[in-house]
Structure 1
Amino acid sequence: MSQLGIDHALTVPPPTAVRSPTASRLVRRALTVAPLLLIGAWAAADWPSMRDGAARLAAADPGWLLAAAFFTCLSWVVAALIRQGALPERLPPGLLLASQFAAGAANHVLPASLGAHAVTLRFLQRQGIPTGRATASLALYSLVKPVAKTLVLLVFLLAFPGLLRLGELVPDGRTMALVAGAVLTLLALTALLLTAVRPLRRPVLSLLRTALTDARVLHTRPSRVLALWGGAAATPLVQGSVIATVGFSLGLPLSWAQVVLALLLSSTAVGAVPAPGGIGPVDAALVFTMAAFGAPVGLATATVIAYRVLTVWVPLLPGALVLSALVQRKVL
């Protein structure tokens, strides 16, 4: 090759390669659109309930509905407070609140709070929390909430002894034996699984040690104890306040204490059923319990339907948009 050909080869830049979107970018785009698609499919499947609840809310008292909207917004603040209380590190308050608002949308699509836990786990990982410690905080969150709810239920039963005339709501000995047997069976199967499957033993024990260490550290800090346990105790009170104010807007003839106690009893009885956001079994039990307290069945049903529209359907689209925005900005 001549010197001129060599110089030309050195000066001519190679052709620019066409860059294709990376796999992670495609996955992120899919995750951005997925919440909206899931919500659209769910709205099409549950359109009659949404339409009926919206019609009832349109005829309700606006003052009580405004109070219900306030308690609905307060529920996201309380959720963020509990999440912060389950971790020693300080999380950014604005992003934490936004993540819990988005987690609410995901929680109503997947059962057993899996959607909310998945969103929160991703948020904590993005904040630099190791996966093991983030998972331990979710476990602590899931443990504290039912314990605090049970304590609140006991306080209500002691504070309002006149509400104890529950009749057929009180489970008989056979039902209690079945529940105890199911719990013991679950514990035995878990122990057997950990004993038989050795690869599971090490990560489970590591997670348990991490959770115990973090729990011990958290309970030496009064601010974290107040956020964790105070928020967990406030959760059923705030949720019950939403139901009560929605019921008052429709003319429900029950007191605030009766509505909150009905929620505590129904969610404790069937709250372990893995339905999305507790929808279905808890709703039926809540209607049955309010009817046992003296509310007309039709009005109790209307209250629960309107409550679900206000707390699920109204914030669902904004929550999905926030979820997509957080994914797009790599907060999740």
Structure 2
Amino acid sequence: MTQTQGETATSDMGAGVGVPVEEPARPDRIRRPSDAIRFAAAVVGLAGIMLLVSFAQQTTHGLQTDIAEGTAHAPRFLLTLATLVSSFGVLAVPVAFAIERLFHKDGVRVAIALLAAVIAFILTILLDDLVVPAAPGGVLDSLIWGGTDTAPLHTDITPVIAFVTAVGMAGRTRWQAVTWTMIALAALTGLTAATASVAALAATYCLGSAIGHGTLYAVGTPNPRPPGTAVLAALGRLGLRPVRGRQLPGGADEPRRYTVATAPSPGGAPADATGRALPPGDWQLQVTVLDRDQQTAGLLYRVWRLVRLRGGSTRRALRSLRRSLEQESLMAYAMESAGVRTPRLVGACEVGTEAALLAYEHVPGRPLDAVREAEITDELLDDVWRQLRRLQAARLAHRRLEGDAILVGDDGRVRIVAPGTGEIAAGDLALRIDLAQLLTTVALRVGPERAVRTAAGVLGAATLAGAVPLLQRVALSRATRAAVRQDRELLTRIREQILQLTPETEAAPVRLERFRPRTLLSIVALTAAAYIVVPQLSSVNLTTLIADAEWWWAAVALAAAAVTYLAAALMLMGFVPERLPLGRTVLVQLAASFVKLVAPAAVTGVALNTRYLQRSGVRPGPAVASVGASQLMGMVAHIVLLIVFGFLTGSIRNATKDLAPSRTVVIVLLGLAVLAGIALTVPKARRFVAARLRGMFSGVVPRLVDVVQSPRKIVTGLGGTLLLTAGFVVCLDACVRAFGGSLPWTAVALVFLTGNALGSAAPTPGGLGAVEGALTLALTISGLTADTATSAVLLFRLLTFWLPVLPGWAAFAYLQRKEAI
């Protein structure tokens, strides 16, 4: 039954009969987050299969061969019988189930499942005829292993899987068993008859499942959530006598909440099941409803936080309805037992099979977010901090101390609500994160100075000092992070206020992330690079190339690569007015070759050089400015050289005609300039670039002025910059000549400068993947054969990236032992 606002509905569930409930109209169909998650999982599975058959062809072929050999010994009569049964049953069983559902007037569900089957059939035909044949040969060969009669995707099974997925057989175990048995028999007979492969069957299952769940999410499923009348009726099982209810407004992903008025118990005043009197007033209860379909809402975000963040939490990203009910009940009872002021939990119970409820005392009031700033007195804030102190004394972590979790009652007292995300027996890190979260929440309302002052008066300065390392955006809740983005300096100002109370506090932030999003981006980039580079390697006869190589050119390349570390040291020393020892500075550059395995090269160089300068006695500000000055001059020199060699390469008559001429270089540069100009017209992008440049080079100009006063420093810095580029160009040219290739030196210089620019921009460690791809492509365009270009690039990267790793590790360990970095 659907109720509109203010409409009265009835139920036949005991105490709920005739109870009026004010609630919005219930939608007939809803989109379940679980369907979207299963759709995404099926798509990821399909992509994983395509990737697997691309790189593990021998494994998939070996598995197929083992299955074929194993089934060859099976009795022919049984295989024939299985073929006949599956050929008939794989279609007959779903049709029979559809007819059974039609007799039960469930035609909408059947129609949706039929739509999914039609979509699956059409999409499978398109993929078989158009998309899969155009895929790389390894993918197609693995999917159709067994002969030309093998189908990449199976038009007879995919629609059935989509139909079964969309129609929903949950709770009908017999139908499920028979249907999936028929599908399994059809797959087995396809394998034995060499008309199906393991990879093709796995791809077929993922595709059918994706279409089924995708159709369900797009169209929606019948709303299983119990109406408000059923919720109020369930209160009767707790000994309560509801007389009317009203649903409170809330977000789509939040649990439903109702306020409920109850009738007096036989003894007189309204009471709960234990006989304890309920507070007087129009509304005595607030009921939170946990719907089963909502348990997966926000699952991907919770999984991401659980995997990404360190914290030692025992929380699960996915909880059943029963576990969610038990967790919130336990947390509510624990808070009340600890003396935390919170609405008393009257009782909890299930509402049918699709929901559960928790009934709390109704406390009239407003969340802290809705309280006017003039009403937020110091006494009110003191009360907030006292409730937190009680939580922490009992080792209870609330984990979502946002403004709506702090209820300011009409009596002026503070209560902590929404305990559903809480945790008992919490560790120190979780408690400190709670403190950091509440500090930020209060500071968003009353400012950092007042938030810290009132917190210190209740909790003490030493306790607040423990929150300083955790005042990071990543530690905060999603809503709070969004609010902090509007005031980017808020967390910094909170730290400053605490450090004024405890100047000796270590302000270095605690590392809360197991990995950063950049790490995932690096993994994706490395995977794409491997997908590009591996096929190139498979087409190169490395044995022949190595046998015919002129290895004395490789020795020249090695010497040139070694010179680059001396050049990098001179480049740094030239932009630091203070005196630096040459030998130790060279070791720092060598150590950077080890560190860059875990981060982009530009990032590691800046961080390690800055650390080295600070350890050498240079103050942090000038150290950052010096490294920024060397980076800035290196970037300017790189751009100038790129333009100069691009012009020379396009102008010299004897240069290769295949390399991009100067006209193309100019077009590319103009195009990049236009794109940059358009981007900078966007205020947000302009502010972002300005802030980054200001942060990187705010002290560069004064530092350059100091350097200019010493001609020796200028010569050292600029000489190191040019020597660095020359060393890499000679190294690449020697690698090309080692394998019998030859290019004009201007072309080699242009190729290196282009590849190095892409490598610096790539988020992978040391530009891995991007540099190889760019250099190989540029050398091929310049006139080298693919074999020679690939071999030359591999040798170049071996000498400049991989070979220095072990010496770099030794240098890094030595410098750490000497406390030089």
User: So what's the TM-score if we normalise by structure 2?
Assistant: 0.31
Tell me the equivalent position of 1:192.
687
Deviation at 1:166, TM superposition (A): 5.0
The AA in structure 1 aligned to 2:793 is V
**CA distance, structure 1, for counterparts of residue 800 and residue 591 of structure 2:** 13
Determine which of 232, 236, 258 is the counterpart of 2:747. Answer: 258
Q: For residues 23-63 of structure 1, what are the alpha-carbon distances to aligned partners after superposition, in whole Å with 9 as ceiling and x for unaligned?
A: xxxxxxxxxxxxxxxxxxx9xx99x989x999766863221
Determine which of 603, 616, 619 is the counterpart of 1:130. Answer: 619
Tell me the equivalent position of 2:675.
181
Q: For residues 192-220 of structure 1, what are the alpha-carbon distances to aligned partners after superposition, in whole Å with 9 as ceiling and x for unaligned?
A: 2599xxxx89x957x75532111112122
**CA distance, structure 2, for counterparts of residue 245 and residue 273 of structure 1:** 25
- Partner of 1:325, secondary structure, is helix
Q: Does structure 1 residue 114 correspond to structure 2 residue 608?
A: no
Tell me the equivalent position of 1:88.
577
Deviation at 1:276, TM superposition (A): 2.1
The AA in structure 1 aligned to 2:752 is L
Tell me the equivalent position of 2:729.
240
C-alpha spacing 1:308/1:213, structure 2 compared with 1 (3 Å): same
The AA in structure 2 aligned to 1:181 is L
Q: Does structure 1 residue 73 correspond to structure 2 residue 562?
A: yes
Tell me the equivalent position of 1:104.
593
- Partner of 2:562, secondary structure, is helix
- Partner of 1:263, secondary structure, is helix
- Partner of 1:135, secondary structure, is helix
Q: For residues 93-151 of structure 1, what are the alpha-carbon distances to aligned partners after superposition, in whole Å with 9 as ceiling and x for unaligned?
A: 11111111111221243114212222211111110111111111121122111211222
Higher relative contact order (CA 8 A, sep 6+): 1
Tell me the equivalent position of 2:550.
61
C-alpha spacing 1:96/1:317, structure 2 compared with 1 (3 Å): same
CA RMSD of the aligned region, Å?
3.4
Determine which of 749, 770, 779 is the counterpart of 1:290. Answer: 779
CA contact (8 A) 1:64 1:248 kept: yes
Deviation at 1:275, TM superposition (A): 3.0
C-alpha spacing 1:311/1:173, structure 2 compared with 1 (3 Å): closer
Q: Does structure 1 residue 231 correspond to structure 2 residue 709?
A: no
Q: For residues 256-303 of structure 1, what are the alpha-carbon distances to aligned partners after superposition, in whole Å with 9 as ceiling and x for unaligned?
A: 332122212343466423332233223212211111211001210111
> How many residues get paired?
281
**Structure with larger Rg:** 2
CA contact (8 A) 1:112 1:273 kept: no
**CA distance, structure 2, for counterparts of residue 112 and residue 299 of structure 1:** 26
Tell me the equivalent position of 1:277.
766
- Partner of 1:277, secondary structure, is helix
Tell me the equivalent position of 2:331.
none
The AA in structure 1 aligned to 2:722 is A
C-alpha spacing 1:69/1:53, structure 2 compared with 1 (3 Å): farther
Which residues in structure 2 correspond to 1:293-332 (within 5 Å)? Answer: 293-332=782-821
Q: For residues 55-108 of structure 1, what are the alpha-carbon distances to aligned partners after superposition, in whole Å with 9 as ceiling and x for unaligned?
A: 766863221111111101100000000000111111011111111111122124
**CA distance, structure 1, for counterparts of residue 694 and residue 550 of structure 2:** 51
- Partner of 1:109, secondary structure, is coil
The AA in structure 1 aligned to 2:575 is A
**CA distance, structure 2, for counterparts of residue 146 and residue 250 of structure 1:** 31
CA contact (8 A) 2:541 2:787 kept: no
CA contact (8 A) 1:113 1:276 kept: no
Which consecutive unaligned segments of at least 5 residues does structure 2 have? 1-522
CA contact (8 A) 1:68 1:242 kept: yes
Which consecutive unaligned segments of at least 5 residues does structure 1 have? 1-41
Q: For residues 210-255 of structure 1, what are the alpha-carbon distances to aligned partners after superposition, in whole Å with 9 as ceiling and x for unaligned?
A: 3211111212221111122222223222101111111111111323
CA contact (8 A) 2:758 2:767 kept: no
Tell me the equivalent position of 1:144.
633
**CA distance, structure 2, for counterparts of residue 220 and residue 126 of structure 1:** 25
C-alpha spacing 1:128/1:189, structure 2 compared with 1 (3 Å): farther
The AA in structure 1 aligned to 2:717 is L
C-alpha spacing 1:59/1:107, structure 2 compared with 1 (3 Å): farther
- Partner of 2:577, secondary structure, is coil
**CA distance, structure 1, for counterparts of residue 789 and residue 643 of structure 2:** 24
CA contact (8 A) 1:54 1:306 kept: no
CA contact (8 A) 1:57 1:306 kept: no
**CA distance, structure 1, for counterparts of residue 548 and residue 587 of structure 2:** 31
Deviation at 1:173, TM superposition (A): 4.9
C-alpha spacing 1:57/1:317, structure 2 compared with 1 (3 Å): farther
C-alpha spacing 1:92/1:164, structure 2 compared with 1 (3 Å): same
Deviation at 1:156, TM superposition (A): 3.0
C-alpha spacing 1:107/1:256, structure 2 compared with 1 (3 Å): same
**CA distance, structure 2, for counterparts of residue 236 and residue 186 of structure 1:** 31
Relative to total residues, which structure has the larger strand share, 1 or 2? 2
CA contact (8 A) 1:53 1:305 kept: no
CA contact (8 A) 2:759 2:766 kept: no
CA contact (8 A) 2:758 2:770 kept: no
